[in-house]
């Protein structure tokens, strides 16, 4: 599919940035940035993790003040004092990290972003209308805490579209959307652009940028290092522009040796107390030492519940359904399961994967205290915690202000790299991870995938739950699909195709109990 023709260059720009600079205590996040977006233009902002993309977008949206520089909105100099001010001007933003209150419903969350006190019934109807029109299904009455990551992202997008923005900023909006939802979103964005909305689009998915965007600005180390027309580039040439060299190629190889079963799910069924959660139904799965098993699926089909049941965040009624390193572990808490040799990475990096206000060293203590000997004689060793955090930072190329930097000061991709590093460097015997490369730039994603393959080659059993089919096909040895809380049979990756697994993702695999109607529901979960 090709991009629509670029907008007419005779229109005056909607937004102009001149010499924008933002200095944080340990880093210059933006350094003399110039950028201009015309009405109807879809403009990509490209760059490695930590290049300064989100900082620039937050400046435009009034979340952060620039240290210096000038911004013009529709020809007038403007200082955007707050997000509310940005919204008044006609600027909308979908954030990389969700800004939703978990204890409120969807409609209550949306109401908070609107001026005055909107009538909730009327607003719920508007939400339904917008979500239907743009193919982004959300139920306005559900509580946010019960939504999957993909569903939350849809809420963020719908909330933004309700405000009819004239400039829409999207910070990695597709990281957790299904391929069908991405198609729909692109149609929406093209439609908005055709109606004259300017769009600033940040993504690490270079094929998407090539398909969607008219123009691109490349950032590196806070500075503009290039411009291009994505339609005239390839994903490889854009990657080179971004990282200054060719992308490394993953060396998968075959599993050298598959050994004993490290994770066994023996008929795992679990009904959560949360009425909106997906019940897990009779899941059987073995993951052996020395293999990577992938679980694909449309977000909201039981992935979160499965990860919680395996990690111990959700303790089960019985011991036997989850067996870790041969121990019936269903009633153990996460700490006890980690002691058996398991590490895990949840899909939400801020909140579950790391405590935002704590330093990286303290975040290292949270999961690695035992394996890295960070506690001795009942006392925490802060120097050891610091040096382990530094190993994660150096080993995984995390760009940050050092081990003392609070987790929330890291760019999204850099925090993900840190969390992956913290778990992988504990040399677990079993690693369970969700969305391992979410929000990570193309170079770092290749690095993380290779680190998972290397871990497998050292004999670790690895289970990856991901919505990125291409990623699963690149790194896994065997693959299954989760749909409506049920798990499909496992297939060797070499004996299946992305197309087959795509069909299975709607719940229709050989022997599946789902009807065609239920399958349609799965695709929209
Ligand atoms: N509140 C903050 N305090 C200190 N440093 C910060 C803060 N916010 C961002 N930074 C730093 O500014 C730099 C740019 O971060 P930014 O989030 O803009 O990068 P990014 O290009 O959006 O990266 P990613 O692709 O990983 O999201 C990083 O080095 C980051 O650590």
Strand-pair category, 167-171 with 379-380: unpaired
User: Which atom of ligand 1 is found nearest the CA of 413?
Assistant: 26
| pLDDT tens, residue by residue, 308-317 | 999 999 999 9
Whether 438 contacts 407, CB under 8 Å: no
- Beta-carbon count within 10 A of 358 CB: 15
ipTM: 0.98
User: Which atom of ligand 1 is found nearest the CA of 48?
Assistant: 25
Cβ burial, residue 21 (10 Å; 0-12/13-18/19+): middle
pLDDT the model gives residue 490: 94
User: Which atom of ligand 1 is found nearest the CA of 410?
Assistant: 31
Average pLDDT value for the chain:
88
Q: What percent of the chain has pLDDT over 90?
A: 57
Please report which confidence band the pLDDT of residue 1 belongs to, taking 50, 70 and 90 as the band edges. Answer: very low
pLDDT the model gives residue 65: 96
Residue 48 lies in a domain: yes
Q: Who's near 521: CB < 8 A, 6+ residues apart?
A: 484
Residue 442 lies in a domain: no
Last residue of a domain, one of 243, 278, 308: 243
Please report which confidence band the pLDDT of residue 96 belongs to, taking 50, 70 and 90 as the band edges. Answer: low
pLDDT the model gives residue 255: 64
Cα 490 to averaged position of ligand 1 atoms, centre (Å)? 40
CATH of the domain at 53: 3.40.50.300
Domain with 409, as residue range(s), is 348-427
**Residues 211 and 77 both lie in one domain:** yes
The protein residue whose alpha carbon is closest to atom 25 in ligand 1 is: 49
Q: Which of 48, 52, 219, 447 to mutate to test the pocket of ligand 1 (most atoms within 8 A of CB)?
A: 52
Looking at 369-497, list the stretches that DSSP marks H as alpha helix, in order from N- to C-terminal side. 382-395, 412-424, 442-457, 469-475
| pLDDT tens, residue by residue, 215-242 | 999 999 999 988 999 999 988 888 888 8
Whether 30 contacts 66, CB under 8 Å: yes
**Residues 290 and 408 both lie in one domain:** no
464 lines ligand 1 (CB under 6 A): no
Distance CA 305, CA 260 (A): 25
**Residues 74 and 26 both lie in one domain:** yes
**Residues 416 and 504 both lie in one domain:** no
Radius of gyration of the chain (CA): 23
pLDDT the model gives residue 477: 94
Please report which confidence band the pLDDT of residue 519 belongs to, taking 50, 70 and 90 as the band edges. Answer: low
Looking at 90-232, list the stretches that DSSP marks H as alpha helix, in order from N- to C-terminal side. 106-112, 120-133, 149-161, 179-194, 206-212
**Residues 180 and 86 both lie in one domain:** yes
**Residues 229 and 307 both lie in one domain:** no
User: Which atom of ligand 1 is found nearest the CA of 415?
Assistant: 26
Distance CA 487, CA 491 (A): 12
Q: Which of 144-153, 213-222, 336-345 has the lowest mean pLDDT?
A: 144-153
The protein residue whose alpha carbon is closest to atom 2 in ligand 1 is: 409
**Residues 27 and 81 both lie in one domain:** yes
Distance CA 365, CA 308 (A): 21
Q: What percent of the chain has pLDDT over 70?
A: 92
54 lines ligand 1 (CB under 6 A): yes
Q: Which of 203, 205, 411 to mutate to test the pocket of ligand 1 (most atoms within 8 A of CB)?
A: 411
Residue 111 lies in a domain: no
407 lines ligand 1 (CB under 6 A): no
**Residues 237 and 295 both lie in one domain:** no
336 lines ligand 1 (CB under 6 A): no
Last residue of a domain, one of 377, 409, 427: 427
Domain count, the chain: 3
Q: Which of 21, 24, 25 to mutate to test the pocket of ligand 1 (most atoms within 8 A of CB)?
A: 24
The residue-averaged pLDDT of 445-456 equals 92
């Amino acid at each position: 599919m090709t991009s629509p023709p670029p907008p007419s260059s005779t229109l005056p720009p909607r937004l102009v940035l001149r010499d924008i600079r933002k200095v944080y205590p340990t880093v210059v996040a933006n350094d003399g940035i110039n950028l201009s977006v015309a009405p109807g233009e879809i403009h990509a902002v490209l760059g490695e993790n930590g290049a300064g993309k989100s900082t620039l977008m937050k400046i435009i949206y009034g979340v952060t003040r620039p240290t210096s520089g000038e911004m013009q909105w529709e020809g007038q100099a403007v200082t955007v004092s707050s997000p509310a001010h940005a919204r008044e001007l006609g600027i909308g933003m979908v954030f990389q990290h969700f800004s939703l209150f978990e204890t409120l419903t969807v409609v209550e969350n949306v109401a908070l972003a609107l001026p005055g006190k909107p009538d909730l019934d009327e607003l719920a109807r508007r939400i339904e209308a917008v979500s239907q029109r743009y193919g982004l299904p959300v139920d306005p009455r559900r509580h946010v805490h019960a939504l999957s990551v993909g569903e939350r992202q849809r809420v963020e997008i719908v909330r933004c579209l309700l405000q009819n923005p004239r400039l829409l900023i999207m910070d990695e909006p597709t990281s957790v959307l299904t391929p069908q939802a991405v198609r729909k979103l692109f149609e929406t964005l093209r439609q908005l652009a055709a109606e004259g909305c300017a769009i600033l689009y940040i993504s690490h998915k270079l094929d998407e940028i090539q398909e969607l965007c008219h123009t691109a600005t490349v950032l590196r180390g806070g500075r503009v290092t290039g411009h291009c027309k994505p339609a005239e580039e390839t994903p490889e040439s854009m990657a080179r522009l971004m990282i200054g060299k060719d992308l490394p190629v993953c060396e998968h190889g075959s599993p050298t040796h598959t050994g004993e079963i490290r994770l066994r799910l023996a008929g795992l069924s679990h009904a959560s107390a949360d009425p909106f959660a997906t019940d897990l139904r009779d899941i059987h799965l073995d993951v052996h030492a020395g293999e990577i098993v992938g679980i694909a699926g449309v977000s909201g089909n039981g992935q979160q519940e499965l990860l919680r049941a395996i990690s111990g965040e959700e303790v089960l009624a019985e011991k036997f359904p989850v067996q870790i390193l041969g121990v019936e572990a269903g009633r153990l808490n996460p700490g006890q399961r980690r002691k058996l040799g398991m590490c895990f990475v949840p899909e939400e990096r801020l909140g579950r994967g790391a405590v935002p206000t704590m330093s990286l060293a303290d975040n290292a203590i949270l999961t690695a205290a035992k394996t890295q000997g960070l506690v001795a004689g009942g006392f925490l060793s802060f120097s050891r915690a610091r040096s382990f955090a530094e190993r994660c930072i150096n080993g995984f190329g995390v760009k940050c202000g050092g081990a003392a930097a609070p987790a929330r000061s890291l760019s999204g991709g850099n925090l993900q790299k840190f969390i992956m590093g913290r778990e992988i460097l504990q040399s677990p015997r079993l690693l369970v991870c969700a969305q391992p490369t979410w929000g990570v730039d193309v170079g770092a994603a290749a690095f993380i995938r290779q680190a998972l393959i290397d871990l497998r080659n050292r004999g670790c059993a690895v289970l990856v739950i991901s919505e990125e089919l291409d990623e699963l096909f690149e790194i896994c040895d065997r693959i299954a699909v989760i749909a409506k809380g049920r798990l499909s049979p496992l297939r060797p990756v070499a004996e299946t195709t992305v197309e087959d697994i795509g069909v299975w993702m709607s719940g229709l695999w050989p022997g599946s109990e789902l009807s065609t109607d239920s399958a349609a529901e799965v695709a929209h979960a």
